[in-house]
Amino acid sequence: MVRYRRNLLPGGTFFFTVTLDDRRSSALIDHVDKLRGAFRVARTERPFTIDAIVILPDHLHAIITLPDADADFSGRWRRIKSLFTRQLTASGVPVSRNHRGEFALWQRRFWEHTVRDDADFKRCADYIHFNPVRHRLVASPSDWPYSSLHRYIRTGVLPADWGGASEVSGSFGERGD
């Protein structure tokens, strides 16, 4: 049996890739209001900071910083996934079940990377913000509505034309990386 090892660093900053089980689904953007609601509830219950995020049809990427003395990012993802799934089913969206009778909306695990320093943070944030272009969803990162890039532009961290002619590379837990 494979043994998964997570870097449980209290107060750490982490990059995540979280994916739906059905990679053809568009549930995350079709029901983005419910996903945002799940994040809000989870953040109220167990605080964390969303430093950067992009929501794509079938997966999302996020950089999250945990509070000091807290390393439980798995519990937070479990709560976000559960809240989103419950909100979908309560609104009548059909969600299949697995052989154990559990909802099968999300992949069971997620990919995580501990952000090591400012350069690593920038690399991960750039990857997040460029991801909709990488997946050929838009021609320019600023054209994708479900991205923290808009906050970065609004606060002057990045220019409005950021990523227009560049490519961002790296291995971030996605197919093809």
The catalytic residue positions are 146
Separation of alpha carbons 127 and 134, rounded Å? 9
Count CB atoms within 10 A of the CB of residue 86. Answer: 14
Which residue, among 68, 71, 79, 63, has the nearest Cα to 112 in the 3D structure? 63
As a whole number of angstroms, the distance between CA 59 and CA 28 comes to 7
User: Within a 10 A sphere around the Cβ of 35, how many other Cβ atoms?
Assistant: 22
- Amino acid (one-letter) located at 70: D
d(Cα 8, Cα 171) in Å, to the nearest integer?
21
User: For the chain, what is the radius of gyration of the CA atoms?
Assistant: 16
Measured between alpha carbons, how far is 10 from 88 in angstroms, rounded to an integer?
A: 32
In angstroms, rounded to a whole number, what is the distance separating the alpha carbons of residues 62 and 153? 17
